[in-house]
Chains A and B, each alone.
Chain A
Amino acid sequence: MIRLLVLFLLLAAPVKAEEIVLGLSRDEVAITATFQGSEILIFGAIKRDAPIRTDSDLGVIVTVAGPDLPVTVRKKDRRLGIWVNTESVDVDVAPSFYAVATNRPLEEILTFTEDLNTRISTQRAIRSVGATIDNAQSFTEALIRIRSDQGLYLKLPTGVLVQEESLFRTLIPMPANLTEGDYKAEIYLTRGGQIVDLYSTTIPVKKVGLERWLYNLAHENAFLYGLMSLSIAIAAGWGASAVFTLLRR
Chain B
Amino acid sequence: MQIYLPIAEVSVNAFLLLGLGGIVGVLSGMFGVGGGFLMTPLLFFIGIPPAVAVATEANQIVASSFSGVLAHLKRKTVDLRMGTVLLIGGLVGSGLGIILFNYLKALGQVELLVQLCYVVFLGMIGTLMFIESLKAIRKSKKSGGVFVPTRRKHNWVHNLPFKMKFRVSGLYISVIPPLIVGVLVGVLAAIMGVGGGFIMVPAMIYLLGMPTKVVVGTSLFQIIFVTAFTTMLHATTNYTVDIVLAVLLLVGGVVGAQIGTRIGVKMKAEQLRIWLAIMVLAVCGKLAFDLLITPSELFSLGAGGH
User: Does B300 sit within 8 A of A, measured CB to CB?
Assistant: yes
Q: How large is the interface on A (under 10, 10 to 19, 20 to 34, 35 or more residues)?
A: 35 or more
Contacting pair A230 B108 (CB below 8 A): no
How many angstroms between the C-alpha atoms of A115 and B284 in the bound complex? 50
Contacts of A214 in B (CB 8 A): 6-7, 243-244
Contact B109 A237 (CB under 8 A): no
Assuming the contacts A35-B4, A230-B231, asked whether A72 and B11 have C-beta atoms less than 8 A apart, the reply is no
Instruction: Give B107's nearest chain A residue, CB to CB.
Output: A85
Given A33-B3, A215-B6, the answer on whether A72 and B236 have CB atoms closer than 8 Å is no
A143, CB-defined interface residue at 8 Å: yes
Q: Is the CB of A81 within 8 A of B292?
A: yes
The smallest C-beta distance from B98 to any residue of chain A, in angstroms, reads 14
Q: Please name all residues of chain B whose beta carbon is closer than 8 Å to the beta carbon of A94 when the two chains form the complex.
A: 304
The answer on a CB contact under 8 Å between A230 and B11 is no
Given the known inter-chain contacts A142-B299, A177-B10, please indicate yes or no for A218 contacting B109, CB distance below 8 A.
no
User: B295 within 8 Å of A by Cβ?
Assistant: yes
Would you list which residues of chain B between 196 and 252 have a CB under 8 Å from chain A? 228, 231-232, 234-236, 239, 241, 243-244, 246-247, 250-251
A31 within 8 A of B: yes
Check if B145 is an interface residue, CB within 8 A of chain A. no
Chain A residues with Cβ below 8 Å from B148 are none
Query: Given A82-B291, A240-B258 in contact, is the A139-B299 Cβ separation under 8 Å?
Result: yes
Question: How would residues 188 to 203 of chain A score, 1 for a CB under 8 Å from any chain B CB and 0 otherwise?
Answer: 0000000000000000
Q: Is the CB of B299 within 8 A of A90?
A: no
Query: Which interface residue of A179, A214, A229, A239 has the most chain B CB atoms within 10 A?
Result: A229
- Interface check B64, CB cutoff 8 A: yes
User: Inter-chain contact count A-B, CB under 8 Å?
Assistant: 191
- Contact pattern, A 229-240, Cβ under 8 Å of B = 1, otherwise 0: 110111011111
Q: Mark A33-45, 1 if CB is under 8 A from B, else 0.
A: 1111100000000
Query: Which residue, B63, B71, B258, B292, has most C-beta atoms of chain A within 10 A?
Result: B63
Partner among A34, A37, A230 whose Cβ is within 8 Å of the Cβ of B232: A230
Question: A146 vs B96: C-alpha distance in the bound complex, in angstroms?
Answer: 34
Residues of B within 8 A of A52 (CB): none
B301 on the A face (CB < 8 A):
yes
- Report yes or no: B235 in contact with A226, Cβ–Cβ below 8 A: yes
Q: CB-defined interface of B1-40 with A at 8 Å, one 1/0 digit per residue?
A: 1111011011100000000000000000000000000000
A240-B255, A240-B258 known; A222+B239 contact, CB < 8 A:
yes
Q: Does A112 contact B (CB under 8 A)?
A: no
**Minimum Cβ distance to chain A for residue B200 (Å):** 19
Whether B254 pairs with A240 at a CB distance below 8 angstroms is yes
Which residue of chain A lies nearest to B47 when distances are taken between CB atoms in the complex?
Answer: A177
A89–B258 CA distance with the chains assembled, in angstroms? 48
B:165-211 near A, CB below 8 Å: none
Q: Are B11 and A218 in contact (CB under 8 A)?
A: no
B303 and A72 form a contact (CB under 8 A): yes
26 sampled A-B residue pairs with Cβ under 8 A: A31-B4, A33-B3, A34-B2, A37-B11, A71-B303, A72-B304, A83-B291, A84-B109, A85-B112, A142-B298, A211-B6, A215-B6, A218-B7, A218-B241, A225-B235, A226-B231, A226-B235, A226-B236, A230-B62, A232-B243, A234-B62, A237-B63, A237-B64, A237-B257, A243-B258, A244-B258
Q: A73-B299, A243-B258 are known contacts; what are 20 more A-B pairs with Cβ within 8 Å?
A: A36-B4, A71-B301, A72-B108, A74-B299, A76-B298, A76-B299, A85-B111, A90-B304, A139-B299, A146-B299, A146-B300, A177-B9, A223-B236, A226-B241, A233-B59, A237-B250, A240-B67, A240-B254, A240-B258, A241-B70
